[in-house]
Amino acid sequence: MAQRRASRRRMETVASGVAELVPDPDRDTAFTLLLDGAPQSHVDLADPEYLQFEYIRRMAAALDLMAEPGRPLRALHLGGGALTLPRYLAATRPGSAQRVVEIDGPLVEMVRRELPLPAQAGIRVRVADAREAVEGMRDGGYDVIVLDVFAGARTPAHLASLEFAQQLARVLDPAGRLIANVADGPPLKHARAQVATIRAALPQACLVADAAVLRGRRFGNLVVLAGRTPLPVAELTRRAAGDWFPGRVETDLDRFAAGATPVPDATAVASPSPPEGLFGNRK
């Protein structure tokens, strides 16, 4: 069995580093995508509704609460990886029109070849820089934007500015929502700045994360849900609390941001690097 799993392991050099597909030891049809050793995605080809990473489950919960169950959505995914959430949305909301923007063309080809998409999934993948792609899109074209872009283990600076947040708001439907993955650790300086930046463009917002991450005690993922209309905070809170790894919803973002101000292009920086050894036990 171990030899069979090892034979299914794939490693290639892509534009953003070394990509590796590692078979899941507990699920025969599942794989983890690593980029330079950092886990980027987990996909079960036979069960796209199975989501291994807790922050992805929190993003999926926000997608579930976008509209009544099963209703198709117009979705834009910035950052592709192994296309975990596009596959999930195609399974839970058939007929959704989905566009994925991923800058790494060789990675896209690897994923298409090794982890093929279901037939009639309605997922279109474009190889491009996320910001350049968004700037060329029409106003109000999407119900939801999922922002989960990492160059290695860091979000690039040009995707962390007020000008970019305003572009995201422009291409969202007036009732649409942004679901953004922000990675940070103590003292949460980057996360606080990103909350202030996103709220300047989309004022209705909340955070979902592990309580220790929200309190600035360890490095992790914070999911920002933002829009122009009231958010489903009560249901999101219930789902986060009932997860395998319970999370917490933070709505007092004035307190969380603690005086942080929106970050313009001129001073935007990439998200911080994860602590050394953070992913050592996840390979």
- DSSP characters for 30-79? EEEEEETTEEEEEEETT-TT---SHHHHHHHHHHHTTSSTT---EEEEE-
Query: In the chain, pLDDT over 90 holds for what percent of residues?
Result: 89
For the stretch 55-82, pLDDT in tens is: 999 999 999 999 999 999 999 999 999 9
pLDDT-based confidence at residue 270 (cuts at 50, 70, 90): very high
**Contact by Cβ (8 Å): 177, 227:** yes
Average pLDDT of the segment spanning 19-40: 95
Q: Considering only 1-10, 51-60, 215-224, 263-272, which range has the smallest mean pLDDT?
A: 1-10
Give pLDDT, residue 109. 97
Give pLDDT, residue 215. 94
**Residue 152 to residues 18, 37, 69, 148, 169, Cα–Cα distance (Å):** 10, 9, 34, 12, 26
Give pLDDT, residue 38. 87
For the stretch 98-125, pLDDT in tens is: 999 999 999 999 999 999 998 889 999 9
**Residue 77 to residues 11, 59, 100, 149, 217, Cα–Cα distance (Å):** 25, 12, 5, 9, 30
Instruction: Give the mean pLDDT of the chain.
Output: 94
Whether 281 shows a pLDDT value over 60: the answer reads no
Give pLDDT, residue 151. 76
Whether 227 shows a pLDDT value over 70: the answer reads yes
Whether 50 shows a pLDDT value over 90: the answer reads yes
**Range 179-207 burial, b when 16+ CB lie within 10 A, else e:** bbbbbbbeebebbbbbbbbbbebbeebbb
Whether 3 shows a pLDDT value over 60: the answer reads no
pLDDT-based confidence at residue 279 (cuts at 50, 70, 90): low
Give pLDDT, residue 278. 64
Give pLDDT, residue 119. 84
Whether 5 shows a pLDDT value over 70: the answer reads no
Average pLDDT of the segment spanning 155-178: 97
pLDDT-based confidence at residue 1 (cuts at 50, 70, 90): very low
Average pLDDT of the segment spanning 172-188: 97
pTM: 0.95
Q: Which residue has the higher pLDDT, 264 or 274?
A: 264
Question: Burial of 93 by CB count in 10 Å (0-12 exposed, 13-18 middle, 19+ buried)?
Answer: buried
